[in-house]
Structure 1
Amino acid sequence: MTALWTSAAIAEATAGKASTEFSVNGVAFDSREIGPGDLFVALKGEHSDGHLHVEQAFASGAAGAIVSEPVEGSHILVPDTVEALDMLAKASRVRTDAKIIGVTGSVGKTGTKEALYAALDRCSFGKAHRSVKSYNNHVGVPLSLSRMPEDTKFGIFEMGMNHANELSALTRLVRPDAAIITAIAPAHIGNFRNGEQGIVDAKAEIFEGLMPGGTAIIPHESPYFQRLKKTAERYAAHVISFGFEDGADVRAVDVVAAPRGGSLVTARLGDRSLCFTIAEAGRHWVSNSLAILAAVRAVGGDLASAGLSLAEMSGIDGRGRRHDISLKSGGKALIIDESYNANPASMKATLQHFTVEPCTGRKILILGAMGELGDQSAQFHTALADDILLCGAAAIILVGDDMAHTAAKLEQSLDQGVKMSHCENAAAALTEAAKLIGDGDVLLIKGSNYLGLSSAVSALVNGEY
């Protein structure tokens, strides 16, 4: 197997000095993720210093390390390890002929990235690469780039932000051939003085790093479409819109429910039509699929492979994965895991689909608070009650302080017989859910990641409640 990096290549890329010759097959900055033959990057941060874990990394099989102070074992000595990781990422981008796609958006980033990877890995026979998990920030993106093999054909990188100017730096590392904005929503709105317009401009920074001849892919039905288009046209040779309405370049002309959930879609891509199935449920996934098709076509991928991959997609942990569980009391129930993140747009989309979720028992909700909404938090949490009321839930468990606003609105309007409780944390919510859940029930769990609702999912799936 060809090495991912040799010590000579790492030293050249980072302007560092190699202690000895070595080669590596992977890269990590978390010593707990190190495997045999990996490169450990000893990052220094405000609250941690990777140099304290170099010994552990070598014990786990690291073949070498990037460090800013001498250590025992094979290493590359550099002045600054954070800067060195960026330099290694840039070198990785320069050495490949791969077509690169960057993905951002307030919702749908990770699912879109995973679907693109599945489609492009299929048509390139295993030569696609993507950022894993949600490694989409100032260290996750360069890490993902540095892990990309030289002979990669397609690379897909998720890029996130919660402040202005973050994407500007990330996209200049990734230098995408095509860049997607999935959707604009008031995620992290508390960090922007000018509200959603600030989010729009920060997301549009992804176009600043486009390669010459690159393609910008934007949501046609966004109220900020013209603002996004104007920015995209400054950097992109091609601007492609996707959506459901006339005028969208990639448009869903027909959408019907699939027999096992999901959707059957007929899409028009300029002069072509494509009929395909999406395994994932919800209108938001139809929208994501249109962006995926636009990107696949922009980088020369195979649309038929994309359609097949969308039909085979399964949910991602924390972002729609479905678990059939056996109950201690007997019978079975369905857990829908949306525990990784929540903002007003994703909450609305998820609850709208939950309205039509088949259920032989009762529908139960565990909904956690939405973070980083600033002084608009009360307004958004109060408005959430309207979507909850429409979804047909028989029991509602609210989690987190900000959900007090949602509870207050619900108390005024709940039908008699609908149970509601307001819990402080995930453990208390699990206790409430365990009392309620029965045979045939469907339990949706969604909230911002800081609440740790994934622990409730794990407990229910593993029978630890």
Structure 2
Amino acid sequence: MSALWTSAELRAATGGTLAGEVAVTGISIDTRSLQPGDLFVALRDARDGHDFVSEALAKGAAAALVDRDPPGVAADAPLLRVGDTLAALTALGAAARERNSGKFVGVTGSVGKTTTKEMLRVAFGALGRTHAATASYNNHWGVPLTLARMPRDAEYAIIEMGMNNRGEIAPLSRLARPHVAVITTIGTSHIGRLGSQAAIAEEKADVLLGLERGGAAVLPADTPFLPRLLERAKEAGATVLTFGESARAEIQLTDYVAEAERGTARLLMDGLPLSVHLGAPGLHLAINACAAIAAVHALGGDVVAAAEALSGFDVGAGRGARRRLALPGGTALLLDDSYNASPISIRAALSVLGVQDAARRIVALGDMLELGPGGPAMHAELAPDVAAAADLVYACGPLMRHLFDALPAAKRGAHVADSAALAPLLAESLRPGDAVLVKGSLGSRMALVVAALASLDDKAGARGAGVAP
């Protein structure tokens, strides 16, 4: 494997010192996934990465990026010494961006940015060598890490950008310098920190601040904030492509048909009809596909080839992934959408649950977080949508109590304090023929519920193999 970074390039990019010569083939911040040849970056978060440098080197790391002496490491170990590891990683990302001549697409939005990032990976992957992060690496260390890992010969790079507070997207965009900036939606995620949807719109529009000269903005046509987004695009000197269901959208979703396991979207672009067959249902996925096709069009790519490639797209774990659970006497369907939640994304997930052929449609919901003072009302306002899609509702957390109490009595399964209490309760109540949707903000830890349901399948497998439970 050719070197991703040489010693000379590492020194030049970071301003650090490194004795000897190494050839780095990857970048790692976690010893659990580190591969031989990686540069291990000792970042500080909940834990200090310097405490794991010795382990990283023992696992075959080519070198470690450090800003202090790590414990248990020999004096002659291959250490790239810098003043601050996060700043050095950011500098490494900037150097990677500078040396690459490919086309860059930046993606942000209140919901749908990771799914759209994955659609863009698939769509552009049909056109050339495409690089994107393997997970939601969209913050102050995730974007530099994604850039620093980019292969030298990448023809396209998809960079996801997220935020928790005002002022976080602009530096990420200036680092990534996208040729196309995609804004998926303007919703209420993090409204508790930013104060209003208008402020969220301004923050998302900051992705345009890093846009390369002559770049394009791909904007949602159906948001009431479109006029402001268009103003921001004009200020950035960007050309504009809009997408969505609105007749004014340049990439318009004209028809959508959902089935239990797939969906078909029909698009109209410059009078050209396109069909996109997706390996998962959901109107929100069809709209995300419109955004992906718009980005391909903005870069002059083959939209027909991109649309055909999207026929192989499916959602990932925690974002609506489907799993059949073996139970005594039959199977149940698990829709794992546990990674995050907002009012928009819950309604989208409910639409998927609603098209499932099931004896009972069950939803398990954890609190939507960071909604500010309006949080209780936003939870209660979901009750009609939840009641229409689900036969039975299980909920946890103090905010979801407001939704639970607003439901018809016949729909109420149970409300408990947290996901740890909900997990065994829901697992015990599941029956063959059920379809169950699990969703909640990451901090609600609904993955515990998914794990409890998955263990039912694992136990059934053990029984089928003649293994004692």
The answer to whether structure 1 residue 119 and structure 2 residue 123 are counterparts is yes
The answer to whether structure 1 residue 397 and structure 2 residue 401 are counterparts is no
| Separation (CA, whole Å) in 1 of partners of 2:314 and 2:351 | 20
| Separation (CA, whole Å) in 2 of partners of 1:371 and 1:285 | 23
Q: Which residue of 2 aligns with 1:61?
A: 60
CA contact (8 A) 2:258 2:355 kept: no
SS in 2 for 1:18: coil
2:24 is matched by which residue type in structure 1? V
| Separation (CA, whole Å) in 2 of partners of 1:337 and 1:69 | 41
| Separation (CA, whole Å) in 2 of partners of 1:203 and 1:233 | 15
| Separation (CA, whole Å) in 1 of partners of 2:271 and 2:25 | 43
Superposed CA offset, 1:386-420 (max 9, x none): 211111x222110111111112212xx33x4x342
Q: Which residue of 2 aligns with 1:230?
A: 231
Q: Which residue of 1 aligns with 2:466?
A: none
Superposed CA offset, 1:88-134 (max 9, x none): 0000000001111111111101111011101212321xx21001211
Return the offset for 1:330: 2.2
Q: Which residue of 2 aligns with 1:49?
A: 48
Q: Which residue of 2 aligns with 1:139?
A: 141
| Separation (CA, whole Å) in 2 of partners of 1:377 and 1:254 | 33
User: Runs of 4 or more off by more than 4 Å in structure 1?
Assistant: none
CA contact (8 A) 1:216 1:236 kept: no
Give the counterpart of 2:371 among 370, 373, 390: 373
Deviates more, 1:260-269 or 1:150-159: 260-269
Q: Normalization by structure 1: what TM-score? A: 0.94
CA contact (8 A) 1:20 1:75 kept: no
The answer to whether structure 1 residue 267 and structure 2 residue 254 are counterparts is no
| Separation (CA, whole Å) in 1 of partners of 2:426 and 2:274 | 43
| Separation (CA, whole Å) in 2 of partners of 1:254 and 1:82 | 46
- 1:5-84 equivalences under 5 Å are 5-45=5-45, 47-70=46-69, 72=74, 73-84=77-88
- 1:334-373 equivalences under 5 Å are 334-359=333-358, 361-373=359-371
Superposed CA offset, 1:273-296 (max 9, x none): 212212221111111110000011
Deviates more, 1:429-438 or 1:243-252: 429-438
1:459/1:407 CA distance change after superposition, 3 Å: closer
CA contact (8 A) 2:362 2:436 kept: yes
| Separation (CA, whole Å) in 2 of partners of 1:237 and 1:373 | 32
SS in 1 for 2:131: strand
| Separation (CA, whole Å) in 2 of partners of 1:24 and 1:462 | 40
Unpaired runs of 5+ residues, structure 2, are 460-469
| Separation (CA, whole Å) in 2 of partners of 1:41 and 1:290 | 37
| Separation (CA, whole Å) in 1 of partners of 2:199 and 2:135 | 26
Q: Which residue of 2 aligns with 1:98?
A: 102
CA contact (8 A) 1:115 1:309 kept: no
CA contact (8 A) 2:354 2:361 kept: no
Q: Normalization by structure 2: what TM-score? A: 0.93
1:431/1:462 CA distance change after superposition, 3 Å: closer
2:12 is matched by which residue type in structure 1? E
Q: Which residue of 1 aligns with 2:452?
A: 459
Return the offset for 1:271: 4.3
CA contact (8 A) 1:339 1:447 kept: yes
Q: Which residue of 2 aligns with 1:130?
A: 132
| Separation (CA, whole Å) in 2 of partners of 1:48 and 1:263 | 43
| Separation (CA, whole Å) in 2 of partners of 1:41 and 1:2 | 20
2:263 is matched by which residue type in structure 1? S
Give the counterpart of 2:156 among 147, 154, 163: 154
| Separation (CA, whole Å) in 1 of partners of 2:169 and 2:246 | 29
1:87 is matched by which residue type in structure 2? A
Q: Which residue of 2 aligns with 1:239?
A: 240
1:224 is matched by which residue type in structure 2? F
Aligned-residue RMSD, C-alpha: 1.6
| Separation (CA, whole Å) in 2 of partners of 1:378 and 1:69 | 46
| Separation (CA, whole Å) in 1 of partners of 2:2 and 2:302 | 27
1:198 is matched by which residue type in structure 2? A
| Separation (CA, whole Å) in 2 of partners of 1:424 and 1:179 | 41
| Separation (CA, whole Å) in 1 of partners of 2:50 and 2:353 | 47
CA contact (8 A) 1:120 1:305 kept: no
Return the offset for 1:356: 2.6
Deviates more, 1:302-311 or 1:112-121: 302-311
Q: Which residue of 2 aligns with 1:254?
A: 255
Superposed CA offset, 1:208-228 (max 9, x none): 000111110010010111111
| Separation (CA, whole Å) in 2 of partners of 1:30 and 1:356 | 40
Superposed CA offset, 1:57-101 (max 9, x none): 101110111112355311211111111011000000000011111
1:44/1:437 CA distance change after superposition, 3 Å: closer
Q: Which residue of 2 aligns with 1:192?
A: 194
Q: Which residue of 1 aligns with 2:279?
A: 279
The answer to whether structure 1 residue 384 and structure 2 residue 382 are counterparts is yes
1:406 is matched by which residue type in structure 2? L
| Separation (CA, whole Å) in 2 of partners of 1:425 and 1:90 | 42
1:419/1:44 CA distance change after superposition, 3 Å: closer
2:434 is matched by which residue type in structure 1? D
Deviates more, 1:94-103 or 1:307-316: 307-316
Percentage identity across aligned positions?
A: 39
Length, aligned pairs only: 453
Return the offset for 1:425: 1.9
| Separation (CA, whole Å) in 1 of partners of 2:441 and 2:235 | 35
| Separation (CA, whole Å) in 2 of partners of 1:249 and 1:353 | 26
| Separation (CA, whole Å) in 2 of partners of 1:43 and 1:353 | 39
